[in-house]
Amino acid sequence: MNIVAIIQARMGSSRLPCKAMLCLHGLPVIDWVVHRTAKSELLNDIVVAIPETSLDDVLARHLENQGVAVFRGPEQDVLRRFVLAAEQAEATHVVRVCADNPAVWGPEIDRLIRHFLALPSQDNAYAYNHIPKNNSYADGLGAEMLSFALLKRLDLEASLPEHREHCLSYIHDNPELFRISTFEPPDERLRRPDVRLDMDSPRDYRKLALMPINADMHPAEIVLRCPKQEV
């Protein structure tokens, strides 16, 4: 078994340009994501999948200088980029981590992996804890997981542009075709579905930049430090 985290990152966001390299408390946002993902004990590898564009060259150089594995693929067809990255890493299982989530936490990824591997059947199985949907997780602490075999199936079946760009949305839009699973956070301090810790807009970035947090902080402490108007 080879469980590989693939971090989806890019510089060309229209809502928050160059966000992967924006400085957040002394580190680029992408460094937060890689560093906190690497706190997982069950992942075998971490790969950052970024587009093949000149705009993303600076991101690729930065990651390579940090010793982080990089895969470059199609900009718009993110699903295909994921398949190719997983293929190159020889993954049997893929954990999708979004670079919009600087508060992602390796131990919560491990909870996801244990949950997935304990499912009665992994055929067509997909599990997640990155969003508060049918669970009470704070938004932005976890990830998504599926087998490489299912990822390849998605690549064959998903044809709509939105399903190619938002690479696992085909599963949520066709729930009858898959075994979708999630779970509650054992730590009650993380049961805050009203808290958003993703970074999708200038407002999100400003909120995180003004919070007294650091890249090694436990997510319960980060949740605690969210501005009261945001929780």
Give per-residue pLDDT as tens, 49-62.
999 999 999 999 99
Q: Which residue did the predictor score with more confidence, 110 or 166?
A: 110
| Paired residues of 23 in beta bridges | 28
pLDDT of residue 121: 84
Mean pLDDT of the chain: 94
Q: How big, in percent rounded to 5, are the helix, strand and coil portions of the chain?
A: 40, 20, 45
pLDDT confidence bin for 231, thresholds 50/70/90: very low
Cβ pair 89, 47 in contact under 8 A = yes
SS3 51: strand
pTM for the model = 0.94
Q: Can you read off the two tokens belonging to residue 177?
A: 């075709």
Signed CA dihedral, 144, 147, 151, 154: sign only: negative
Cβ pair 164, 77 in contact under 8 A = yes
Domains of the chain in sequence order? 3-230 (3.90.550.10)
Spatial distance between the Cα atoms of 163 and 76, rounded to a whole number of angstroms: 10
Tens of pLDDT, residue by residue over 145-162, are 999 999 999 999 988 999
